[in-house]
């Protein structure tokens, strides 16, 4: 998206003024409205589709497989495919590495079946279209797909180290997966203002961006900066990081409960 | 699995259909208005696909520019989670031979049906995401593209509807699912509108020639039915749009 | 609903309204009329051998026979085979004199001569700009089709060719008129009037082109000191009202009798009733200022908020697929004052309300009249 010089300076001035005026009139803490659909893929254990009001869309599938965790302790596998980008594109790789790190925060004990076996989760993300940085949307997608994931109920013994047996499952009873994945928030910085969930036009003029991760009521690593455009990026006042963290701390639980309420 | 189960002596298939019955066919049009010029979402049995048509637009590369007609580009994304068992291949599946073959077959089918000569010096980019597959995918892809191209307002001679037919012993089975597809020889057809003209015929297995006519006949009849279902969905959609537009 | 985020959610479905008709043949008990039985389902669809021409309101789909009467000329959206005319798109039939065409329900913007469009420069090349107007191809704006700094009497020189980027560069927005069409359907634009040119002092909004109805005037002054340019191509520009915009609203003083008197030297309808001032202004405006990238420093925060409010109203109308007109924007703007918080206008239920209220308001007025 290329904007004209006049558009950019208009947007910049609006976002930099106190209080900031966003092009769609949102509050600094307000997200674009989203639509969430879950559990529409019968051949996956969990699935979700998230669409933001600007048309950005992402689909997540969760499939589970029983593995011997004594030999394979990597219980989460995530793959991100961004339509129109190559698999080795910078954006795809940086998203994948970010989520690989983030999902380490998930309590893997919840995936354990027996002393020997665990579920391994394959999380596949497909970004159909995105107008700005998709990480926030992807994290919402992962959150709601894991939230909708149900796994077969174990009926065999937990202790299988002594007796050699494969885990046995109930024919149709399912157990809801109880993991809480982290959420990722993108914040845009313009001059001395910071605001959440920047839209494409806001990204074009932002001086910098921040990625802040959150789970279970607290801020977690990674927190990092993110250049939202090639032309306007420059340094910012470090106090804004504090301000951004406060913003996320205050409003993230609202997002989490909105995502759970399906 | 025993071969008997594929088609029971009472004439019922594994999913309870008779030999000449299609699967559930549900579609909606203009599902991704922000991201594309034309789009459709189609469920044919357990096949679920999203089709996005972008264009005709100015090509980004010089090599895509044709002075006489539009360049047609089709990308099929068979997602790794689309099958019951997740695909084990590491890395990209985009350049797999099978996918390239499907793409070529689709381009050939639609090149002749879309009036590309009306849009010189442009590119029409079609992007399909297969979210779930359960046999006869090529036919479903054809139906999805037809609907999305109509939604994009691209001129074409007629609908093309696609369907796969299997041959079980001497009985042709219409609109096969993946279990049937694995158990017998199959043919995929692309049929022009209500005509008996084929724009695509794909046979990848051995098939007795004397049975082919029978298989084609049931396939064409099934494709005509699919055309009618698409037409019905499209007219409903059109009616809604027109009643909205009367508010102009 | 939380004001942090508004969510529409559904479990077990791919989208909000699952497809209108559902054809369950998987679990059905195979009674003949429920399934796609080949026997007997086709013959009711047989087309009559000869057919009268379809009426205007009929929906045509690709491959459908429109008429076998050869007197009709075949326009867009149709094709001709063995003396019969068929539809090539899904849409409605339009008959103008003997020209028969099918207007698709939706397509990319198809330019027509005289259209007022908003476009964005995509490429600067030899003596011309390529402009993205949301059409199938970029439109062309020739160097000779713009007003250059220094007034109309100035000659174009080679140095102009070299400094084209200092007039208009990639990303710049402008409004222009479609001057003519090339053989392949691409548009040629011109900005040789004071109402066209580079756009400043505001914000861009995009809507589907089908929602903008062609009319005499596409630039409107709105309450709150805002001017909107509704490009026929669905590109919309919202800006602070300038003196030039206000001049248009003034009654043509004195020169009402002579219609030629209100014509400016560029051939466009003069923005200012007094032709003397008009020429002076033309020279003044034809200076470098018309290609400036600087916004007016007097845009207050209140104006910016009003622009955001209008942008959200336009998006809400587009969301409801309601045609966008000046009257509707104004009705909604006045009603939207009830929402103190502009950001709440983007929430889905509020957008639906906005659309419904506009339609209700029009119904009420219609019944009163």
**Beta strands C59-60 and C7-11: pairing type?**
unpaired
Residue A63 confidence (pLDDT) above 50: yes
pLDDT digits (tens, 9 = 90+) for A185-235: 999 999 999 999 999 999 999 999 999 999 999 999 889 999 999 888 999
Q: How many domains does chain B have?
A: 1
Each residue of A155-196: pLDDT tens digit?
Answer: 888 887 777 778 889 988 999 998 999 999 999 999 999 999
- pLDDT tier at C2, thresholds 50, 70, 90: low
In 3D, which of B199, B133, B215 has the Cα closest to residue B162?
Answer: B199
Domains of chain A, residue spans: 1-30+182-262, 34-181
Q: Is the pLDDT of residue C367 over 60?
A: no
C-beta atoms surrounding B101 within 10 Å? 14
As assigned by CATH, the class of the A34-181 domain is: alpha beta
Fold: same for A1-30+182-262 and A34-181: yes
CATH architecture label of C44-104: Beta Barrel (2.40)
Q: How far is B86 from chain C (nearest CA, A)?
A: 20
Residue contact B50–A128, C-beta within 8 A: yes
Residue C138: C-alpha distances to residues B35, B71, B125, C189 (Å): 19, 16, 17, 11
Select the residue of A40, A254, A257 nearest C14 (Cβ to Cβ): A40
Domain residues for the domain of B225 are 13-245
Record: contact C107-B33, CB cut-off 8 A: no
State the Cα–Cα distance between residues A164 and C74, nearest whole angstrom.
78
What is the predicted pLDDT for the residue at C290?
A: 83
The whole-angstrom separation of Cα B165 and Cα C208 is 41
Phi–psi pair at A257, nearest 5 degrees: -75, -30
Question: Taking CB atoms and an 8 Å cutoff, what residues of chain C touch A14?
Answer: 301, 304, 308
Whether residue C253 is predicted with pLDDT greater than 50 in this model: the reply is no
* Cα distances (angstroms) measured from residue B221 to each of B175, C78, C297: 11, 26, 69
Share of chain C above pLDDT 90, in %: 45
Per-residue pLDDT tens over the stretch C332-353: 898 888 888 888 888 888 888 8
Residue C20 in this model has a pLDDT that exceeds 70:
no
- Which chain C residues touch B231 with a CB distance below 8 Å? 61
Cβ pair C14, A37 in contact under 8 A: yes
Domain range summary for chain C, segments of one domain joined by +: 44-104
Q: How confident is the model at residue C160 (pLDDT cuts 50, 70, 90)?
A: confident
| Predicted local distance difference test score (pLDDT) of residue B180 | 93
Per-residue pLDDT band for C261 (boundaries 50, 70, 90) equals very low
Q: Is residue B115 part of a domain?
A: yes
Q: Min CA distance, C143 vs chain B (Å)?
A: 21
Distance CA C22, CA C14 (A): 14
Confidence of residue C248 (pLDDT cuts 50, 70, 90): low
Which of these ranges, A182-196, C74-88, C262-276, has the smallest mean pLDDT? C262-276
Residue of chain C nearest B120, judged by CA positions: C184
What per-residue confidence (pLDDT) applies to C21?
A: 39
Q: Which pLDDT band, with edges at 50, 70 and 90, does C152 fall under?
A: low
The whole-chain average pLDDT of chain C stands at 79
Average pLDDT of the segment spanning C116-124: 96
- CB spacing of B35 vs A65 below 8 angstroms: no
Element containing residue B148 per DSSP (H, E): helix B137-151
ipTM of the complex model: 0.92
Instruction: Please tell me the predicted confidence (pLDDT) of residue C48.
Output: 43
Q: Does C301 touch chain A (CB under 8 A)?
A: yes
Q: Which residue has the higher pLDDT, C360 or C38?
A: C360
- Contacts of residue C346 in chain B, CB cutoff 8 Å? none
CA dist list (Å): A160 to A5, A163, C30, C33, C115: 68, 5, 48, 55, 77
Q: Is the pLDDT of residue C55 over 70?
A: no
pLDDT of B199 reads 95
Task: Collect the ranges in chain B with pLDDT lower than 50.
Answer: 1-3
CATH assignment at residue B143: 3.30.230.70
The reply to whether B6 falls in a domain is: no
Contacting chains of B (3 CB pairs or more, <8 Å) are A, C
Q: Which CATH architecture has domain A1-30+182-262?
A: 2-Layer Sandwich (3.30)
- Residue B30 lies inside a defined structural domain of this protein: yes
Minimum distance, in Å, between the CA of residue A159 and any CA atom of chain C: 35
Determine whether the interchain pair C7/A9 forms a contact, defined as Cβ–Cβ distance below 8 Å.
no
Structure confidence at residue C273 as a pLDDT band (50, 70, 90): very low
């Amino acid at each position: 998206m290329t904007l004209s010089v006049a558009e950019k300076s208009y947007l910049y001035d609006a976002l930099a003024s106190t209080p900031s005026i966003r092009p769609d009139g949102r509050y600094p803490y307000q997200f674009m409205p989203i639509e969430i659909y879950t559990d529409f893929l019968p051949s996956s254990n969990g699935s979700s589709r998230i669409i933001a009001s600007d048309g950005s869309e992402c689909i997540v599938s969760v499939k589970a497989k029983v593995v011997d965790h004594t030999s394979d302790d990597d219980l989460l596998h995530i793959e991100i495919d961004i339509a129109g980008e190559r698999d080795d594109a910078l954006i795809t790789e940086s998203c994948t590495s970010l989520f690989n790190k983030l999902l380490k925060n998930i309590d893997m004990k919840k995936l354990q079946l027996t002393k020997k076996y665990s579920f391994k989760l394959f999380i596949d993300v497909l970004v159909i279209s995105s107008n700005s940085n998709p990480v926030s949307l992807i994290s919402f997608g992962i959150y709601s797909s894991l939230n909708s994931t149900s796994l077969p109920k174990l009926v065999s013994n937990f202790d299988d180290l002594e007796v050699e047996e494969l885990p046995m499952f109930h024919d149709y009873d399912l157990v809801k997966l109880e993991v809480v994945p982290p959420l990722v928030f993108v914040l845009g910085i313009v001059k001395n203002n910071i605001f959440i969930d920047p839209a494409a036009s806001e990204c074009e003029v932002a001086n910098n961006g921040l990625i802040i991760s959150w789970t279970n009521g607290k801020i977690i690593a990674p927190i990092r900066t993110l250049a939202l455009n090639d032309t306007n990026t420059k340094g910012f006042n470090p106090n804004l990081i504090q301000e951004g963290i406060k913003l996320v701390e205050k409003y993230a639980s609202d997002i989490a409960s909105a995502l759970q309420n399906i | 699995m025993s071969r008997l189960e594929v088609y029971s002596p009472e004439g019922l298939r594994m999913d309870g259909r008779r030999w000449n019955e299609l699967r559930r066919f549900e579609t909606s049009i203009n599902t991704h208005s922000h991201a594309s010029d034309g789009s459709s979402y189609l469920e044919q049995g357990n096949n679920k696909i999203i089709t996005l048509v972008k264009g005709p637009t100015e090509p980004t590369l010089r090599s895509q520019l044709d002075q006489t007609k539009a360049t047609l580009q089709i990308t099929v994304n068979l997602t790794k989670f689309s099958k019951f068992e997740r695909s084990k291949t590491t890395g990209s599946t985009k350049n797999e031979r099978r996918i390239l073959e499907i793409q070529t077959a689709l381009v050939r089918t639609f090149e002749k049906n879309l009036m590309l000569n009306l849009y010189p010096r442009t590119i029409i980019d079609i992007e399909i995401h297969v979210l779930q597959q359960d046999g006869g995918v090529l036919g479903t892809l054809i139906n999805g593209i037809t609907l999305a191209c109509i939604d994009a307002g691209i001129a074409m001679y007629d609908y093309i509807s696609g369907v796969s037919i299997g041959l079980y012993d001497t009985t042709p089975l219409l609109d096969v699912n993946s279990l049937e597809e694995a158990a017998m020889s199959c043919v995929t057809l692309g049929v022009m509108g209500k005509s008996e003209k084929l724009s695509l015929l794909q046979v990848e297995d051995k098939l007795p020639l004397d049975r082919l006519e029978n298989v084609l006949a049931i396939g064409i009849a099934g494709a005509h039915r699919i055309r009618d279902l698409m037409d019905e969905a499209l007219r409903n959609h059109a009616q809604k749009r027109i009643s909205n537009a009367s508010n102009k | 609903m939380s004001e942090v985020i508004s969510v529409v959610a559904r479990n077990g479905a791919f989208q909000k309204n699952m497809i209108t008709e559902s054809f369950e043949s998987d679990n059905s008990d195979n009674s003949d009329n429920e399934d796609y039985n080949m026997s007997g389902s086709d013959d009711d669809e047989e087309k009559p051998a000869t057919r009268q021409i379809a009426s205007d309101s009929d929906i045509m789909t690709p491959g459908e026979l429109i008429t076998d009467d050869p007197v009709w000329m075949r326009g867009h959206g149709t094709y001709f085979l063995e003396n019969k005319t068929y539809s090539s798109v899904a849409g409605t039939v339009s008959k103008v004199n003997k020209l028969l065409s099918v207007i698709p329900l939706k397509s990319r913007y198809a330019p027509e001569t005289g259209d007022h469009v908003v476009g964005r420069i995509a490429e600067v090349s030899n003596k011309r700009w390529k402009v993205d107007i949301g059409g199938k191809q970029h439109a062309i704006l020739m160097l000779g089709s713009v007003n250059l700094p220094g007034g109309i009497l100035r000659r174009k020189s080679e140095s102009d060719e070299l400094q084209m980027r200092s007039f208009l560069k990639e990303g710049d927005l402008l409004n222009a008129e479609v001057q003519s069409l090339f053989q392949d359907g691409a548009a040629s634009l011109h900005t040789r009037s004071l109402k066209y040119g580079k756009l400043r002092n505001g914000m861009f909004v995009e809507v589907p082109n089908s929602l903008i109805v062609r009319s005499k005037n596409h630039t409107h002054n709105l309450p709150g000191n805002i001017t909107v340019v509704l490009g026929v191509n669905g590109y919309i520009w919202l800006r602070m009202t300038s003196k030039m915009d206000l001049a248009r609203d003034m009654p043509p003083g004195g020169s009402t009798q002579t219609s030629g008197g209100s014509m400016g030297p560029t051939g466009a309808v003069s923005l200012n009733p007094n032709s003397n001032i008009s020429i002076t202004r033309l020279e003044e405006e034809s200076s470098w200022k018309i290609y400036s990238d600087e916004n007016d420093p007097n845009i207050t925060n209140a104006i910016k908020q009003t622009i955001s409010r209008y942008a959200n109203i336009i998006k809400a109308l587009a969301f409801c697929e309601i045609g966008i007109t000046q009257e509707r924007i104004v009705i909604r703007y006045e009603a939207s004052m009830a929402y103190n918080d502009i950001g709440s206008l983007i929430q889905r239920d509020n957008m639906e309300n906005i659309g419904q209220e506009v339609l209700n308001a029009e119904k009420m007025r219609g019944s009163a009249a």
